[in-house]
Structure 1
Amino acid sequence: MKRRSVLAAGAGLSAGLLLPAGRASAATYGGYAMAYFTESPTMAAARYALHLAVSADGLNWTPLNQNNPVATPTLGSKGLRDPFILRKQDGTFVVLATDLNGTDWAYQSQYLHVWDSADLRTFTGYRLLKVHSLATHAWAPEAVWDSARGQYAVVYSAVNSSGHNVLMVSWTADFRTATEGTVFYDPGYDAIDGSFVTVGGVNYMYYKNNTNSTLLGTRSSSFNPGSFSVYTSAIGPGRGVEAPNIVKSNTADVWWMWGDTWSPNGRFFCWQSTNIPGGAWTLLNDRAYTQPLNSKHPGLTPITSAEMTALLSRYGAPAWNRIKSYNFPDRYIRHADNVGRIDAYPFDPYQDQLWTVVPGLADSTAVSFRSVNYPSMYLRHANYSMVLSAPDGTTTFNADATFRRTPGLADSTWTSFQSYNFPDRYLRHSNYVLRIDPLTSSSSTTDKQDATFRVGY
């Protein structure tokens, strides 16, 4: 299920319209906000409430509020999925979301969760918005301003008389009342998760073909129901994907389209395009982006630098870090049975990948890695292998658990970790297990990559 609208190319426009007074132009946006809910493979992280993250570059994300919810539904099912953020014509925000708590797909709600927000720091006017009277759900809402009607089109997925999911539309001026839903787009098969972007006066909608879990792009010169037609071939990462969400770079004529796996595994994919009218998308390597921990069904919107600073001030950055492998960027440093290793995200217990990076036990100018879920234990080397262990009060342990951060051996914008007491050795993975090995400038490319990491969230 699905998400959000975006800026028109290079002209300070949103949904193809001149921005009203008081609303940031494209040139003034300095960051991005992402809305999501959380799940993990065993559902240990399942929280069906509104979560937020921010990013300066649109690719690497900082969860807010320690990755805890910032707003929780109290009506309907008392849970949400598929949150969407729209910056309205007056510059304030509205948040829409599916009324569904968990994975009870038989639950039939004709309503959407709605919040108002001036700044994404406070959420007011919480309510349910009825969008249809059918005996079916209303999934994955997105809204877009339609200047021809002078109203917002709220597009969502529902089963109508066709017997399969179609994209429906209800019109609203205030997100308090809406017209009875009507079919917006029906390709003749199960279709969900519509997302809009306007480029050069043309409206583009990407959606999920729910029969084969691929994405398709459509376009139209209007937002009239029935006016969109497919113009791309199927887009996919080689396995099931849903929840397309397009956002434009704040600094270049580049668009990113995010997608989510359909399962609780919560793996995001990201494609890049410089030519939406041409329908060309390139799947990015995981090295290029990092999704928020356990995030599902992203909803992105550009924000100003001041708004991003205020959000970080209000909610704070996480007190922990995740550490990504350079040459296996789908894997993160974690402990398992007290052994240090890298494993493919996502996994449970998800806390095994969370580290408090503290001043080095042997040297405060260096760092040590304290486990979040075993806070009395640290990563240290023993016989050159990395293990999770509790301090024994010796200087040897402190030295074994201390590392100096250096520019990444494979990429200076990343990080390598030099052993404090064996300075010719660096933290690296080998067959996915962590150890310290001698490395120099003449070491192989693979060895350097094995010893290069990104410290993020």
Structure 2
Amino acid sequence: MLHRRTFLTGGASAVALSSVLRHTASAAPGDAAYVMGYFTESPNRVADRYALHLAVSLDGLTWTPLNQGNPVATPTAGTGGLRDPHIIRKQSGGFAVLATDLTGTDFTRQNQYIHAWDSADLRSFTGYRRLRMHSMPTHTWAPEAFWDPARGQYGILYSANSGGRDAFHVNYTTDFVTVGSPQLFFDPGFNVLDGTVHTHNGVNYLYYKSFVDGRLYGARSSTLNPRSFTTYTAGVVTGGIEAPIVVKANDRNEWFLWGDSFSPVNGELYAWRSGNIATDSWTPLTKDRYTQPLNAKHPTICPITRAEHDNLLSHWGAPTWNRLKSYNYPDHLIRHQDNAARIDPYPFDPYQDSQWRLVPGLASSSGVSFRSVNYPDRYLRHSGYAITLAAPDGSATFNADATFTRVAGLADGSWSSFRSHNFPDRHLRHAGYVLRIDPISTASDRADATFQVGY
């Protein structure tokens, strides 16, 4: 959940990974890819879509949004919107999808229900329903499910305010249709939010956001019984982060902790790495290591097989646009603003300013030209060595100015650089955050001229 500081502190107030998991069951043999579910927001509310979006990844770092970044499922009852989706693979096969029943940012709203769907393959969603979790005069936020083998049931974990503060409650179910009565699951004596459960080697881990100091914390227990967890970490990060996700590599003992910023104004996902979840040792990942799906908020991540990954990509399709990340400023993207080209820190609005279609070069089909998504009649071209966004005038000069040869990244061969078609001794680079073409000679120049083409 986001933007709850004022409401909760009256009683109270991170993307990366090599491989992933958001529920307690371990990745199944054969899982070799990942699916992310999320809703979207952006600083000026341009991207606000309170519905289920999906993205896929083979490495858990590089995400491909599906369905052109549009929703794949939207609630039809309750508030008509969702936040904080969760995807869990069911023991019997297929998936269940849960979500907070809330659209927008009215966090004072009481709601005892959550959204639920079934899905055989995440290509279609059936059996839409709302589940009533309790009768308390409060909210039901950030539902997550985990399998409890000792009970032979799933636990649905969520945040609700009882006893004057937010704590985690749980309802048990075998089918995500009929749920048992709520039980208090975790209450450390202060407001907590966004619980996520992960099990490894017989130990159960519960990560959560504390409103005492704004940090993400981890607790653990030898059982999944309610009120059995004891905090074992000193707090991973200070203030402004929530929605933890604990994820484990499918093929090795490496973990990642994701966190989400409170506000769409700073709407970013962050990530930390650990080589041993049993110890309190998390190291932040830099943003050259991962790229979040565009405008993604409070995500869920579930391991899937390579076949499921390929089927999702085939069914929903990859975007027809790209975003380009700066090598030496990896939190910055190439964008246009007032017809000038520059790099700016993500996120920003209009977010479409950073979306490009890399089309065959206007002067040579062996090159590429950058066509704007939100101004499709305009292309990036150089003029006086500065890069601008302009509409073609039909001249050979414009076509040449707007054409670049894509080559291996000058600072990192796994990234990309772009050489000017008609000034082949010059490459596209940023200088003072503004794009231009220049001769490249120093290591700093090479870093300025290297970009990652992604989504």
Tell me the distance in 2 between the aligned counterparts of 1:295 and 1:74.
21
What's 1:21 paired with?
Answer: none
Normalised to the residue count of structure 2, the TM-score between the two structures is 0.94
Q: CA deviation at 1:389?
A: 0.4
Between 1:240-249 and 1:365-374, the stretch displaced more is: 240-249
Q: Could you tell me which residue of structure 2 aligns to residue 242 of structure 1?
A: 242
Aligned to 2:288, the other structure's residue is in SS state: helix
- C-alpha deviations, 1:253-281, integer Å up to 9, x for none? 21221111011132010111110011211
Separation of aligned partners in 2, 1:399 and 1:239? 49
Residue by residue, what CA displacement relative to the aligned partner does 1:72-104 show, whole Å, maximum 9, x if unpaired? 001111110000000011121000000001101
Matched with 1:411 is: 412
Q: How many residues align?
A: 439
Of 89, 95, 111, which residue of structure 1 is paired with 2:91? 89
1:114-173 C-alpha deviation (Å, 9 max, x unpaired): 000010101000000111110001000111011111111111000002x11111111111
Residue-by-residue CA offset, 1:209-267 (whole Å, 9 max, x unaligned): 1343210000001111111011011111x551111112222333212211110111320
> Which deviates more, 251-260 or 377-386?
251-260
1:64 maps to which residue? 66
Q: Residues of 1 paired with 2:239 and 2:109: CA distance? A: 27
| Alignment match, 2:143 | 141
CA distance in 2, matches of 1:324, 1:97: 31
**For residues 209 and 358 of structure 1, what CA distance do their matches in structure 2 show?**
48
Match of 2:48 among 37, 41, 46: 46
Q: What letter corresponds to residue 445 of structure 1 in structure 2?
A: A
SS at match of 1:399: helix
Tell me if structure 1 keeps the 8 A contact 2:155–2:171.
yes
Contact 1:185 1:226 in 2 (8 A): yes
Contact 1:322 1:332 in 2 (8 A): yes
Partner of 2:360: 359
SS in 2 for 1:196: strand
Q: CA RMSD in A?
A: 1.8
Counting only pairs closer than 5 Å after superposition, residues 130-209 of structure 1 correspond to structure 2 as 130-161=132-163, 163-209=164-210
Which residue pairs with 2:327 in the alignment? 326
Q: Distance in 1 between matches of 2:275 and 2:335?
A: 36
* Counterpart check, 1:252 vs 2:252: yes
Query: Mind listing any 5+ residue stretches in structure 2 that lack a counterpart?
Result: 3-13
Matched, 1:429 2:437: no
Pairwise CA distance, 1:26: 3.5
Tell me, yes or no, if structure 1 residue 371 matches structure 2 residue 372: yes
| Contact 2:168/2:185, CA 8 A, preserved across alignment | yes
**Counterparts of 1:334 and 1:428 in 2: how far apart (Å)?**
13
Aligned equivalent of 1:125, options 124, 127, 131: 127
Report what 2:219 is aligned to.
Answer: 218
Is the Cα contact below 8 Å between 1:130 and 1:177 reproduced in 2? no
8 Å CA contact retained: 2:213, 2:239: no
2:192 and 2:68 mapped to 1: Cα distance? 35
2:394 corresponds to which residue? 393
In the alignment, the residues of structure 2 paired with residue 204 and residue 91 of structure 1 have an alpha-carbon distance, to the nearest angstrom, of 24
> Matched residue of 2:315: which SS?
helix
Distance across 2 between alignment mates of 1:256 and 1:59: 11
Whole-Å Cα distance in 1 between the matches of residues 359 and 214 of structure 2? 43
**C-alpha offsets along residues 351-395 of structure 1, whole Å, 9 cap, x if unaligned?**
000001100000101100000000000000000000000001111
Structure 2 residue 251 is matched with structure 1 residue 261: no
1:454 aligns with 2:452: yes
User: Residue 25 of structure 2 contacts residue 147 of structure 2 at CA under 8 Å; is this kept in 1?
Assistant: no
Q: Select the residue among 22, 34, 37 that pairs with 2:36.
A: 34
> Pick from 78, 81, 86: which aligns with 1:79?
81
Output the CA distance in 1 between the equivalents of 2:51 and 2:242: 20
**Distance in structure 1 (CA, Å) of the matches to 2:283 and 2:30:** 27
Distance (Å, rounded) in 2 between the aligned partners of 1:257 and 1:139: 20
Counterpart CA distance in 1 for 2:206 and 2:90 is 19
Q: Tell me if the contact between 1:380 and 1:387 (Cα under 8 Å) persists in the aligned partners.
A: yes
Quick one: which amino acid aligns to residue 226 of structure 1? Answer: R
Runs of 4+ in 1 over 6 A off after TM superposition: none
Provide the TM-score with structure 1 as the length reference. Answer: 0.93
Q: Tell me, what secondary structure is at the counterpart of 1:193?
A: strand
Distance 1:306 1:210 in 2: 41
Question: Residue 109 in 1 paired to residue 107 in 2?
Answer: no
Partner of 1:279: 280
Distance 1:133 1:393 in 2: 67
Equivalent residues in 2 for 1:264-343, closer than 5 Å = 264=264, 265-343=266-344
Structure 1 gap ranges (5+): 18-24
* Identical aligned residues as a percent: 59
